[in-house]
Amino acid sequence: MPAEPAAAPPTTPVPLSALLARTDLGLRQIAGPPGAEVHWVHASEMADPYPYLLGGELLLTAGVQLADPERYAARVAEAGAAALGFGLAPVYDTVPAALVTACERHGLPLVEVPPPTTFTAIARAVWGLMTEARHHELRRVSQAQQGLASAAGRPDPVPAVLHQLAVRLGGWAGVLDPEGSVVRAAGREPSAEEAAALRRLAGVVSPERGARARAPHTGPTAPPPDASALPPAPTSASDTAGSAQLAAYALAGARGLALGIATERREPGDHTIAGTASVLLSLLTAERQGADEAARSAALVRLLLGAAPAEVAPLLGEAPWTVVHARGEGAPPDLGSPLVEAGDGHARALLPGGQEAGPHPGWTLGASAPVGAGELAAADAQAARALRRAEAARSPLVRHRTGGYASLVDPEEAAAYARRLLAPLTEPLLTTLRTWLSLHGSWDRTAVALGVHRNTVRQRLARCAALLDADLDDMDVRTELWLALRSEAGSAEAHSGQCE
């Protein structure tokens, strides 16, 4: 049984017809069906290139080892190549008739490459056409997203978004309920065959119908399926009906509704455009919202469409903001804010208006310093570090401390590291090293400060370097030792204060 051809690489395809239209290349298709799409170019003179093809290539060869045209064409077609380009000269003056017949039989497009055209020129042309296609796709997606965003802001947004989507994709777009009935629609009416296929797709992506469809049928008296024991429904699905391309997208939080799409063809960028529309329709068709929920939904829409956090922050609440990370068991902590992400024993929350978090039984919390909307990413990192310190100290809540680089390090961890680093040193070596570092490495000033001869200072520091196996002329080493000495001194002072 022949192996399945490999999937084409995820690049923007180039129609073979666009390459054939390049008069500077002089290419001519002499066999195989039209309509091929090229994903990349590969040149090979191997007798059997099958093991080195990924699918979707325009394979270029001059036939240096073309011993069996029939087998060669069969293997190239089996590998999933988009087309075969045969270069005339230096081996063949014309394309072998047996290869033309074999490519026609196996449905492999065969392109004649004239002698003046180099394989490198063909590859360069393909990459140029690919770049143009990618730029066209990005412009099309960007314009479609802008149109969908404008439609979502109209007085009757759902039909406006569907109309915009149908125009952008050149087909039909509609919202289907869990039973497959059309709620709202726009564009060309689908055929009966297409409508039936769309209803099936809506059942695949609908959490309600999907659970029933995926459950094994055990008879008319079988109990309803336990949705938690079934695999989750996919968020999108696609199919074909006749010549139509069909797709369905689940509308999250919208009572099992789905977005259905039927188009004559599928172009690069269609999935991205439809995905944007499904997010907008999920928000627009969700259960009735209060003013606060509607404002948060509007903020989410604007963030998805590229707005900066500072622009949407007023819709979420008042500044400053505090980020909280939490880890524990049971119900997520109630932090007095609806802006919470929770799951698998971990939660993150965004507290507006300078609101402070408090301890919560069964959970360990780390809170950032209050920040503006433009500093939320930094605050998120602060909260994560604070949570790690809280877990290390077994404290229910730790807040981020401001105060330069020292605030980024846990004092207990720093003191423990300092003790390990400085363990080989005893007095008077510790005092000499601390004094020397504080006086920027001055031998004379250190000798005066300690009341010893400068040669004694040199001898002690040489001993420190040997015991620590460190180069005291290295600024990185000096900095690390200075921070360790400060941490060790701070830990000793704190211990002394506790004893008193």
Count of other CB atoms within 10 angstroms of residue 245:
19
What's the pLDDT at 33? 95
CA 32 – CA 17 distance, rounded (Å): 13
In contact, 333 and 365? CB cutoff 8 Å: yes
Mapping DSSP to helix (H, G, I), strand (E, B) and coil, where does residue 68 land? coil
CATH H superfamily, domain 411-499: PucR C-terminal helix-turn-helix domain (1.10.10.2840)
Distance of CA 493 to the CA centre of its chain: 48
pLDDT in tens, 143-153: 998 999 888 88
Which among 197, 238, 199, 230 is positioned nearest to 212, based on CA atoms? 230
Tell me the range of 24-28, 221-225, 290-294 where mean pLDDT is highest. 24-28
pLDDT in tens, 301-341: 666 676 777 676 666 666 788 889 998 887 777 777 777 88
CATH H superfamily, domain 14-117: HprK N-terminal domain-like (3.40.1390.20)
* Per-domain boundaries in the chain: 14-117, 139-214+234-291, 317-327+348-408, 411-499
pLDDT tier for residue 76 given thresholds of 50, 70 and 90? very high
Q: Mean pLDDT in the chain?
A: 82
Copy the structure tokens of residue 496. Answer: 């002394």
Distance of CA 226 to the CA centre of its chain: 32
pLDDT in tens, 294-310: 666 666 666 667 677 76
The pLDDT of residue 134 is above 80: yes
pLDDT tier for residue 405 given thresholds of 50, 70 and 90? low
DSSP code for 90? S
CA 247 – CA 237 distance, rounded (Å): 6
The pLDDT of residue 407 is above 70: no
pLDDT tier for residue 17 given thresholds of 50, 70 and 90? very high
Please give the residue that has the higher pLDDT: either 457 or 289: 457
CATH H superfamily, domain 139-214+234-291: Dynein light chain 2a, cytoplasmic (3.30.450.30)
* Residue partners of 248: CB distance under 8 A and separation at least 6: 176, 198, 201, 202, 204, 205, 236, 237, 238, 258, 259, 260, 261
Mean pLDDT, rounded, for 8-18: 77
- List, in sequence order, every beta strand (DSSP E) within 264-418: 322-328, 340-343, 346-351, 363-367, 397-399
**H or E stretch at 183:** strand 182-187
Please give the residue that has the higher pLDDT: either 6 or 480: 480
What's the pLDDT at 333? 79
Please give the residue that has the higher pLDDT: either 32 or 207: 32
Which among 302, 291, 366, 285 is positioned nearest to 333, based on CA atoms? 366
pLDDT in tens, 345-380: 888 888 877 677 888 888 899 888 888 877 888 888
pTM: 0.48
The pLDDT of residue 185 is above 70: yes
In contact, 84 and 62? CB cutoff 8 Å: no
Which among 433, 424, 429, 437 is positioned nearest to 469, based on CA atoms? 424
The pLDDT of residue 459 is above 70: yes
What's the pLDDT at 44? 95
- Length of the chain in terms of residues written: 500
DSSP code for 343? E
Mean pLDDT, rounded, for 20-37: 94
Which among 291, 279, 14 is positioned nearest to 126, based on CA atoms? 14
**Tokens 């009935």 map to which residue?**
181
Let me know the angle formed at the C-alpha of 410 by 406 and 416, rounded to the nearest 5 degrees.
Answer: 110
What's the pLDDT at 117? 95
Mean pLDDT, rounded, for 108-130: 94
Count of other CB atoms within 10 angstroms of residue 474:
10
In contact, 16 and 36? CB cutoff 8 Å: yes
* Residue partners of 361: CB distance under 8 A and separation at least 6: none
Please give the residue that has the higher pLDDT: either 344 or 249: 249
Please give the residue that has the higher pLDDT: either 232 or 47: 47
